[in-house]
Each structure stands twice: as structure tokens, then as C-alpha cells.
Structure 1
Amino acid sequence: MTDEKVKRRLTTVLCADVYGYSRLMEADEAGTLETLRRYRTAIARLVERHDGRIVNTWGDAVIAEFASVVEAVQCAVEIQQEIASHAADTPQANPMQFRIGINLGDVMVDGSDIYGDGVNIASRLQELAEPGGVVISSSVYDQVHNKMSVGFDCLGQRPMKNIAPLTSYRLTLGGQVAGTGSSAIGESATPFERAHAPRMDDRRAPSSPTNVVSDWLTRLPRPVAAALTVSAFLILINLFTSNRIWFHWPVAAILFGVVLRMVLGQRPESDRRTER
């Protein structure tokens, strides 16, 4: 890669990793290895079904790439569904669970391998996921949030090792790509769908202005949402308690501080270094 021009491409990277792998191996090496092999076979089959390819497998991790962002996310959902279904059919004291991270980004290509921030970010997102869960980057969210019948929970900007903070989202529902005929979650649903389905008392009534504003704020980075909320309170306090307009100065200072923080928090692409 140092003697030739580096080839790059934009791709969707899926990183899956076993949660508590060392603990599982310590408890039962043979059984854990057999389960890992079985799950890897299932993952490879699902990746192929969604027109992806396995890039690498080392230890307990699986790296795959997809040309389609939607197919990558749908594949991740089906992986978790199948693993959860198998765990429900064969109860174990320490069931094997995967955490999955997905990122859409630029990668360096060396033969059949891919490297760079695009891969590293997917790996770090996987570390943010709960066992049996999926976490995606904001670049993935922008492409899929209106194309899939799954829910998304904004995690804000979480610190990640050797990676600049970025907004991430957690998948909160098991579902199908919009338009393929998804059914209600009931007795026939997989354990993954039942575990992540919203409770009846959590399901919202038809959208009201308050719900719309609340949903909009949750999609923003936390510093921006907090600044807008505080600014709105200052404006209301000014309007209801004084005849003189004074809110513009503190609001301007708050917004300027947030913009400055976000600008300084983003490193230039040229300063980023590939994690070895």
C-alpha cells in the first residue's frame, strides 16, 4: 500500500463481536467454539443473502461490507433475530450474544481487505451496543431512517477510543424494510423483536406539537438540543416577565458557544490517523 497509490471506496461496514467472549471461553472452551462456528455460518449466510461479503474474521469478530446501507442494517437485524431465536430454543446458562456496529464511510482497499476510519468507527460503534443490539452511525441513520420499519434511539455524541466523537443511534425494534409487508409483533415474533418491542403504555398517541418538537430535539446532537431548550426558556421568561427585550444577548452567546464547541470538536480529515 506504500508503494502504490492507495485505492479507496465508500462502503458500509458491519462489525459484529461476541459479548463476554473471554468469560464464555473460560467457562466452556469446546462448547463456546462450537457455538461460535455455528453462528458464524449463520452470519455468513445472511451476509450473502443481503449481497454483502465477509471481509475478515479474527478471534470472535466478524467484519463484513455491503454496497447497500439498507441491506447492511436489515442483515444486522436478521442476525440478532436468528441468534436470539436459537438461544430461546436451546436455553443455556451463558448464551452467546453479539454486539453489532454499522458505519458508512470511506475505506482504504488492499486486495480483499479494507482499512481506515470507516472500519475503525464500525468497530467502536459495536462497543457501544448492548448484547444482542445494533448501533449505527449518523451517516447510516441518514440513509435508512425513512426506509425501514425499525425504531432509532439517538445516543448523542459518545466518546470513542482514537475516534472523534460522532452521533450514533441504537436500533430499538426488530422489523423489515418498508414496503415488504411487516406484521405486528406478537406470538410469532422472534425473541429479538419481542425484547425490543415498545410496551403498550410506551406507544405514543397520534403526534401532537409537543411530541413533534420532542422527537425533533432527540435527533439533534445533545449540545445543540440543550442550547435550543435553554434558549427557548430564556425567550419565554423574557416575553412573560419584562417589557424590554433582552434575551437576544444570552441566546446569541449560548448558540455561539455550541457552534464553537462543535467546530473545535471535529478534527480535519488530514489529521486523522488509521488505527493499527
Structure 2
Amino acid sequence: MERARRRLAAVMCADVAHYSRLMERDEDGTLDRLKSYRSIMSGLTERHHGRIVNTWGDAVIIEFSSVVEAVQCAVDIQNELSLRNADLPQAARMDFRIGINLGDIMVEGDDIYGDGVNVAARLQELAPTGGVMLSQSVHDQVRSKLALGFESVGPQTIKNVSEPVEAFSVRLGGRNEPAPHETPSQDGEETARQQADPQLGADTQAFANGFEQARNWLRRQPKRIRSCVFMIGFFFVLNLLTSGLSTLWFVWPSLPFALALIWHVFVGKERKLMSGRSGPGD
């Protein structure tokens, strides 16, 4: 059996956001639109000298020899599909999420495997709807070569990868993912309220930014810390649903998890500092 070859490549993984919901609403229309959008992606991939490796379901894997071409292709794809979606009702729009990684891959025939592919797939899962998420290896190569804006989202824990991966989101004209229940009329009403009260818009944005920072911080934490935070939040929500804010009983069942959280955060940090001070010869 021929041994798998290895090479360095830029790998793009893309899939459709909320694909199951689109299929449930309109199977035939969704499949037709998926074929049409994949045709657009295929043309742009060829223009940027990429190779479509695999497609299954709503996912696509593309390989590039140039990381600059890979990122430019991803941006072109999102911009083109955004224009196509603009003529559709909100519920029928098909948005993709894209992740790109530069890494070592294994090649067997026409297929590719390895951490280089795995990281790209996980970054795609972290990407916002209609957005592009890059690994640091990609960001370092393109930040001075492409006229794009980038936003660090911090180190991300990637399944089956031992070390966290620094991730960067590409700014694409400020497009954001709408909540699943929102409709265009609700969007308009929200915009009108914010225009009537600028402070409301500022407060809403500040809350959104704070929530996003908290979520990114929580993603970077070990599982034991995330579990403690989850349990404290669970008891707090249960308190609100059963007693409102008139009686704050959630503190007592949350206390063991709060103590465990404090222990993991501060003692774990101290151990890390101590291990960092100890050299190989200590």
C-alpha cells in the first residue's frame, strides 16, 4: 500500500448555517439553491487556483497552494453569496460559514487528512454566519498582503488538537448573524428604536460586546471551569423562573460550584506560574 504523502497547504472548510432549518422549510428550494451556490463557489475556487477536495451534505473542503488566494477566495465567496441573498426573504437566505487553516496535511489519492484539515473544520464551526474565521498561521501570512480587517477572538480549544488555536475573524462589511426568530420587520423596529434613543443603541452594543467577550473567555477555559459556570447559571435561571428576584436562594446550591471555580481559577493559575518558574534542571 502506497504511503500517504505530506505537504503544506491552505485548507478551506465551508458549510451552510442553519441547514436543517432550511431543509425543513423547503427541501426542493434549498437543494436547488445549494447547487447554485456551489456552482458559484466552484467558479471562484478555479479563479483562485484552488481544488475542491470533497463535498458531502452541505459541506465543502477546498485546498489551495497559496494562503493569500485561499483567503481572497473566501471573501469573494461571501461577498457574492451576500448579493444573491439580498434578493431573497430572510427565511430563505442561505449563508455559509468558512474556516481556513494553513498546515501540514496528508494526501491519499484525491483526499486530504490530518490536523491541517481538522483545524479548518473546527474554525468553520466557530465562524459567524456569513463570516470567515482564520487560524493564526493564516493571519500571519495575509495580514500585510490583503486590504482586509481582522479581529482576534483569542485562543480556541479545538477537538483532537492538544494546544489552543489562536483565531481571527475577517471583517466583511459588518454583516452579523440575525437571531433565528427575527424577521425583517422586527429588525426595522429595533433600528427605529435605536435611532429614536441613541443611548439604547449604545447600551445594546455594549451588552453584545460584553457577552461576546465573556463567551470567548469561557470557550478558552478547561472543561471543569465551564462546568462550574454552567451549574451556577443553571441555578440562577431556575431561581428566576420559580421565585423571581424576590428570594435569591440560588446562592446556596451554587456555593460548592463557586468555591470549585475559585479554586480552579486561582490555584490553577498559581500552579502554572510555579511550573513556569521551574526550569528543566530544577
Q: What aligned pairs does 1:85-234 form with structure 2 within 5 A after superposition?
A: 85-164=83-162, 165-173=164-172, 193=173, 195=175
The C-alpha deviation readout for 1:134-158, integer Å capped at 9, x for no partner, is 0000000110011111111111111
Distance 1:156-1:258 versus aligned 2 partners, 3 A rule? farther
Q: Relative CO higher for 1 or 2, CA cutoff 8 Å, sep ≥ 6?
A: 1
User: CA 1:152–1:74 in 2, change beyond 3 Å: closer, same or farther?
Assistant: same
The one-letter code of the counterpart of 1:169 is F
Give 1:260 deviation, angstroms. 4.2
Identity %: 57
1:254 and 1:57, CA in 2 relative to 1: closer, same or farther beyond 3 A? same
Alignment CA distance shift 1:144-1:255 (3 Å): farther
> Is this contact kept in 1: 2:97–2:132, CA < 8 A?
yes
Unaligned runs of 5+ in 1: 174-192, 197-221, 223-252, 262-276
SS in 2 for 1:160: coil
Which is helix-richer, 1 or 2?
A: 2
The residue type paired with residue 160 of structure 1 is I
Q: How many residues align?
A: 185
**2:3 is matched by which residue type in structure 1?**
K
The alignment's TM-score, normalised by the length of structure 1, stands at: 0.63
My pick for the range that moved more, 103-112 or 159-168, is 159-168
Q: Distance in 2 between matches of 1:17 and 1:123?
A: 9
Gaps of 5+ in 2: 177-216, 218-268, 278-282
For residues 160 and 24 of structure 1, what CA distance do their matches in structure 2 show?
Answer: 27
CA shift digits 1:7-42 (9 cap, x unpaired)? 100000000000111111111100100010000000
Shift of 1:73: 0.2
Q: Structure 2 vs 1, CA of residues 258 and 149 (structure 1 numbering), >3 Å: closer, same or farther?
A: farther
- Asked whether the equivalents of residues 130 and 175 of structure 2 are also in contact (C-alpha less than 8 Å), the reply is no
Cα deviations by residue, 1:159-214 (Å, 9 ceiling, x for unpaired): 222223211100014xxxxxxxxxxxxxxxxxxx3637xxxxxxxxxxxxxxxxxx
The C-alpha deviation readout for 1:61-90, integer Å capped at 9, x for no partner, is 010011110110000001000111111123
CA 1:259 to 1:114, structure 2 compared with 1: closer, same or farther past 3 Å? farther
Counterpart AA for 1:47 = T
Q: What TM-score do you get using the length of structure 2 for normalisation?
A: 0.62
* Partners of 1:145 and 1:166 in 2: CA distance: 17
